[in-house]
Amino acid sequence: MNRILIAAALSLAFAAAPAIAGDAPATPVTSVIPAKGKMLLAADGARLAPVYRVGDSGPQIILDGRMVTVPADTVALVDGKLTTTLSKAQVIALP
């Protein structure tokens, strides 16, 4: 069932709200549903870990020997790379 929902969501085109001049991000950001095995990067570009599982709350990775769920609202595609707005230290501190 989750695979069907994910496939349906992937087929939808996400439209970004128009940016006010000067407010546009320096790099293109796209909404995304993470895929298992895709490398997740921290805000500074540091490699965190590949996505182990995609949960309802966000992608789950194994980091420092434990399962960490990265909040979905912090994850986006930036220049084609799966990236969180959190730093590595912030991801490590997640429950």
pLDDT at residue 17, rounded to an integer? 37
Q: List, in order, residues 6 or more apart from 46 with CB less than 8 Å away.
A: 88
For 29-95, CATH number out of 3.40.50.300, 2.60.260.20, 3.90.50.10, 3.30.420.40 equals 3.90.50.10
Give the model's pLDDT for residue 55. Answer: 87
Which residue type occupies 89? Answer: A
Reported pTM: 0.67
Mean pLDDT, consecutive 10-residue segments, the chain of 95 residues?
42 38 51 86 95 93 95 92 96 94
Domain ranges in the chain are: 29-95
Q: What is the pLDDT of residue 56?
A: 86
Residue 28: what residue type?
P
